[in-house]
């Protein structure tokens, strides 16, 4: 398992992984826009010989707070520790950027993701009703928080 920071050069790789992981994937252009924003950073996870992308996390850390914008793990690589490793490395980068806490939103019905976040130190702090658009009707988002510098 290799985890490394990446920048704009990885936008197409991030978009490809996002496409494999989500019904409504983000484009390479969307990743480029986000990565150009203040405090944005991405971490890519790779494995194999030759190394193949397995997952990534995209975050930002500004004014003492960090936020996970998205995380994606290739479905074929899930349940092997990629998600937890990416979250932990992102928390470390955010700490180094002087963030005291990290936030995220996750679909209330995404129980696997909620378990991942709870096992990596996040707790529920709120609910956003109808936050995620969905063909079957808007879905609620659970807001979660992790203290980074205690």
pLDDT per residue over 69-82, tens digit each? Answer: 999 999 999 889 99
Among 102, 128, 95, residue whose Cα is nearest residue 117? 102
pLDDT at res. 140: 92
pLDDT at res. 103: 97
Q: Alpha-carbon distance 63 to 38, whole Å?
A: 10
pLDDT at res. 137: 86
Q: Sheet holding 101-107: strands in order across?
A: 2-6, 40-47, 52-62, 65-73, 101-107, 139-147, 123-132
Report whether 25 contacts 18 (CB < 8 A). yes
Q: Alpha-carbon distance 87 to 121, whole Å?
A: 10
Q: How many residues does the chain have?
A: 150
pLDDT per residue over 103-149, tens digit each? Answer: 999 999 999 999 999 999 999 999 999 998 888 889 999 999 999 97
């Amino acid at each position: 398992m290799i985890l490394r920071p990446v920048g704009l050069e990885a936008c197409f790789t991030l978009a490809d992984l996002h496409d494999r992981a989500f019904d409504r994937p983000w484009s390479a252009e969307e990743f480029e826009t986000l990565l150009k924003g203040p405090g944005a950073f991405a971490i890519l996870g790779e494995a194999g010989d030759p190394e193949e992308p397995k997952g990534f996390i995209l975050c930002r850390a500004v004014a003492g707070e960090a936020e996970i914008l998205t995380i994606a793990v290739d479905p074929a690589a899930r349940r092997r520790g990629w998600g937890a490793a990416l979250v932990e490395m992102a928390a470390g980068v955010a700490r180094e950027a002087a963030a005291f806490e990290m936030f995220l939103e996750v679909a209330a019905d995404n129980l696997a993701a909620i378990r991942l976040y709870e096992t990596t130190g996040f707790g529920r702090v709120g609910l956003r009703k109808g936050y995620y658009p969905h063909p079957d009707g808007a879905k609620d988002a659970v807001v979660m928080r992790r203290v980074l510098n205690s």
